[in-house]
Chains A and B, each alone.
Chain A
Amino acid sequence: MIQNLLNAVVLGSTYSLIAIGLTMVYGILKILHIAHAGVYTLGAYIGLYALYAFDNNFWIALVLAMLATGIAGVLIYRGMYYYMLKESRIVPLISSIGLFIALQELFRLFAGPYQKAFPAKSGFPRVETSWFSLTSAQGLIIVLTAVSFLALYLIIGKTKIGLGWQVCEQDIDMAGAMGVNVNRSIALNFFISSMLAGAAGVLMALYRNSVYPTMGAMVSYKAFVVVVLGGFGNVTGCIVAGLLLAFVETFLGHLEWFEFPRDAIAFLVLISVLIFRPKGLFGRK
């Protein structure tokens, strides 16, 4: 029982970790950033090649992947979304989709279509008690999700950067008038959220022991379920929603007769929640 709960917590943490970045981007720009899934895959690949270069050291891989994806995020904003802020919301959505398709193809052309193992050595201990056991990858996921959530919480609540984001979230034009450097604020938002996507990519690669070009496909829709359930742009809601979704899936997964696909369950949960609470579970009215 405890073991099952723990497994669900780990699964939920992975969902939340992937979704936090998306929800941040949505909060500030109100765009459905599907290419986030491409950034996530980029993180996994950078991590993989860093492992090859640095003797399978997990921590170097993590840091390099986060840096690279952070920069990639800023580039995506400056190179693409920046020009679309005044357009209708479908415009960034479609270009985001195009970018995601192109990124997946780039990964395939560069690294080959095959899944690759992720032979990282993290040195994180395995926890073993008589009630449950937690592999080192699972432990890492829980700890790192908690750390990034805390860090984000502090950045949003206690720093000028977070204040800038909050102002931009309310009204971008107004934020400019109030002396917030809007562009820098958005770029920073993309930097941090993409870094989190990169971290999620590395962690998932470690957890599933595989990196492949289409690994972002699941993220491109599943993470949005978490984002919406949590109420677009709400970081705390995002964590709770990720865990909740994992618990529902794990519970239903245990039932032998229930074979409805996992992804369909997620969306059924989503739509039934939206019918009763059109702004998500934790959305502000």
Chain B
Amino acid sequence: MRLKVASITVLLVALLLIPAGLAAQDTIKIGFFAPLTGFAAADGASALAGAQTAVDFINDAGGINGKPVELVYYDDGCKADEASSIARKLIERDKVVVGVSGSYSTPTRAAAGIFQAAGVPLISSYAVHPSITKAGDLVFRVGMDASTEGWAGAELVVKQLGAKEIAVLTIDNDFGVSLGEYFKERAEKFGGTIVFEKRYPLGESEFRDVLGSIKDEDPEILWASGYYAEAANIVSQAKELDIRCWIVGQEGYDSPKFVELSTDTSAYGTLIVTDLNRDSDREIVQSFLAEYCNRTGLDADMVGASAFDAVQVAAYGIENGGVTAEEIRDAINGIENFENAVTGPFYGFSERRVIKPITVQIIRNGEFHFFMEFTDPDIITPAP
């Protein structure tokens, strides 16, 4: 028995000490973390597939300066402490040149501080919390900023659709709350009135009670933030309660699963403020959509596209900068009209947050289609 215990202990210690760098040293390593288990596992899977697609694209085109790219990825379970140890593992053991986060705000924020302190750049795909890029001069974001997304929503709702009475339904996390603040501020500035407002928790599936109150207010527009699972329930139950106003969503809706999970045709006609324009004639978009579908058997979503772009920006930084953090940082800061991004083109970065066009998609016959696009710098430049 004792022998067994001793040998197991030795085995466990040995496992911990196995160097991770078994792969050849002449690859360029990009570190990646995403929630592959737990409640956010679906987004983690999309992000990973998007990042892997980007790595394949880069390697098929001959790698970076002739060297192939290797994606080192770990599961953070959407937890801050796991992200902390992963960040150190990626930096110290795997010796990655750049980190890419395919995770939510909480783990990304925890990892950002570690990457910054260790002098390794980190690019966040879609985590929204404003404090992430404030962690330091090495932390970037390629997803939409809460401010631009909220402003574009207000522009669409009040100016383009001409709605004055707006009901706001906010998902109660950092994403929904910061987005909602910017949306309300602009919408009210443009002359809209918020006739109803309420927050709901992540993962909520029963909206009939809230929607009942919204129906009593009879707004012209329902602006609701949330992820596609909540969104599908919102539009299905709104249809069931015969709420006929426009429903405007944002990037969280942006997944084919939104249409699949909503009942019958209830998702049709929903407007979605997002950054992935599936009708774009840019070549990178169409080849990404095709390759992603080929790889996963599913149609691409916003999360996958953002992770793809984050890896593309990382590769650009290494190719045009070098291997030190400062060179990569300066290369990314110097980006202008970056065409290799699916959610682009990236016009540039403002305080390490991307400036890129914002698209509005509409669900027509169960598919995402182009509705309109915002490129006005006033709207798409993130708030200071």
Q: Closest residue to B260 on the A side, CB-wise?
A: A117
Could you tell me if B196 and A256 are in contact, using CB atoms closer than 8 angstroms? Answer: yes
Q: From residue 125 to 143 of chain A, which have CB atoms closer than 8 A to chain B?
A: 133, 135
Could you tell me if A210 and B229 are in contact, using CB atoms closer than 8 angstroms? Answer: yes
Asked if B188 is an interface residue, CB under 8 A from chain A, the answer is no
Contact bitstring A158-198, B, C-beta under 8 A = 1, else 0: 00000000000000000000000000000000000000000
Give the number of residues in B that approach A within 8 Å (Cβ atoms): 37
Could you tell me if B209 and A250 are in contact, using CB atoms closer than 8 angstroms? Answer: yes
A113 to B303, CA, bound (A): 14
Smallest CB separation, B260 vs chain A (Å): 5
User: What residues on A are CB-neighbors of B197 within 8 Å?
Assistant: 256
Could you tell me if B257 and A114 are in contact, using CB atoms closer than 8 angstroms? Answer: yes
Q: Closest residue to B297 on the A side, CB-wise?
A: A112
Q: From residue 249 to 268 of chain B, which have CB atoms closer than 8 A to chain A?
A: 257, 260-263
User: What residues on A are CB-neighbors of B203 within 8 Å?
Assistant: 218
Q: A210-B229, A210-B261, A256-B196 are in contact. Are A112 and B209 (CB under 8 A)?
A: no
B257's contact among A3, A115, A250, A263, by CB below 8 Å, is which?
A: A115
Asked if A214 is an interface residue, CB under 8 A from chain B, the answer is yes
A212 to B205, CA, bound (A): 13
Asked if B210 is an interface residue, CB under 8 A from chain A, the answer is yes
Could you tell me if A209 and B262 are in contact, using CB atoms closer than 8 angstroms? Answer: yes
User: What residues on A are CB-neighbors of B208 within 8 Å?
Assistant: 4, 7, 11, 250
Could you tell me if A135 and B260 are in contact, using CB atoms closer than 8 angstroms? Answer: no
Asked if B112 is an interface residue, CB under 8 A from chain A, the answer is no
Could you tell me if A108 and B41 are in contact, using CB atoms closer than 8 angstroms? Answer: yes
Could you tell me if A115 and B229 are in contact, using CB atoms closer than 8 angstroms? Answer: yes
Asked if B198 is an interface residue, CB under 8 A from chain A, the answer is yes
Asked if B37 is an interface residue, CB under 8 A from chain A, the answer is yes
Asked if B120 is an interface residue, CB under 8 A from chain A, the answer is no
Could you tell me if B209 and A209 are in contact, using CB atoms closer than 8 angstroms? Answer: no
Q: From residue 179 to 230 of chain A, which have CB atoms closer than 8 A to chain B?
A: 208-210, 212-214, 217-218
Give the number of residues in A that approach B within 8 Å (Cβ atoms): 34
Q: From residue 72 to 124 of chain A, which have CB atoms closer than 8 A to chain B?
A: 105, 108, 112-117
User: What residues on B are CB-neighbors of A213 within 8 Å?
Assistant: 41
For A11, A113, A133, A208, the residue with the greatest tally of chain B CB atoms inside 10 Å of its CB is A113
Asked if B206 is an interface residue, CB under 8 A from chain A, the answer is yes
For A116, A218, A254, A255, the residue with the greatest tally of chain B CB atoms inside 10 Å of its CB is A254
Asked if B38 is an interface residue, CB under 8 A from chain A, the answer is yes
Could you tell me if B209 and A115 are in contact, using CB atoms closer than 8 angstroms? Answer: no
Could you tell me if B38 and A115 are in contact, using CB atoms closer than 8 angstroms? Answer: no
User: What residues on B are CB-neighbors of A135 within 8 Å?
Assistant: 240
Asked if A253 is an interface residue, CB under 8 A from chain B, the answer is yes
Asked if B44 is an interface residue, CB under 8 A from chain A, the answer is yes
Smallest CB separation, B209 vs chain A (Å): 3
Contact bitstring B39-54, A, C-beta under 8 A = 1, else 0: 1011011000000000
A212 to B261, CA, bound (A): 11
Asked if B294 is an interface residue, CB under 8 A from chain A, the answer is no
Smallest CB separation, A80 vs chain B (Å): 23
Could you tell me if B201 and A261 are in contact, using CB atoms closer than 8 angstroms? Answer: yes
A108 to B236, CA, bound (A): 25
Asked if B186 is an interface residue, CB under 8 A from chain A, the answer is no
A256 to B214, CA, bound (A): 9
User: What residues on A are CB-neighbors of B147 within 8 Å?
Assistant: none
B212's contact among A3, A217, A261, by CB below 8 Å, is which?
A: A3
Asked if A277 is an interface residue, CB under 8 A from chain B, the answer is no
Could you tell me if A254 and B212 are in contact, using CB atoms closer than 8 angstroms? Answer: yes
Could you tell me if A208 and B233 are in contact, using CB atoms closer than 8 angstroms? Answer: yes
Could you tell me if A254 and B209 are in contact, using CB atoms closer than 8 angstroms? Answer: yes
Could you tell me if A4 and B209 are in contact, using CB atoms closer than 8 angstroms? Answer: yes
Q: A112-B45, A261-B172 are in contact. Are A105 and B209 (CB under 8 A)?
A: no
Q: List 8 A-B contacts (CB under 8 A).
A: A3-B241, A209-B236, A213-B41, A253-B210, A256-B198, A259-B198, A261-B201, A262-B204
- Interface set of B (CB-CB < 8 Å, partner A): 36-39, 41-42, 44-45, 172, 196-201, 203-206, 208-210, 212-213, 228-229, 232-233, 236, 240-241, 257, 260-263, 298
- Interface set of A (CB-CB < 8 Å, partner B): 3-4, 7-8, 11, 105, 108, 112-117, 133, 135, 208-210, 212-214, 217-218, 249-251, 253-256, 259, 261-263
Q: In the complex, given contacts A11-B206, A253-B213, A263-B201, what are 8 additional A-B residue pairs having Cβ atoms less than 8 angstroms apart?
A: A4-B209, A113-B36, A114-B45, A115-B228, A208-B205, A214-B38, A254-B213, A256-B197
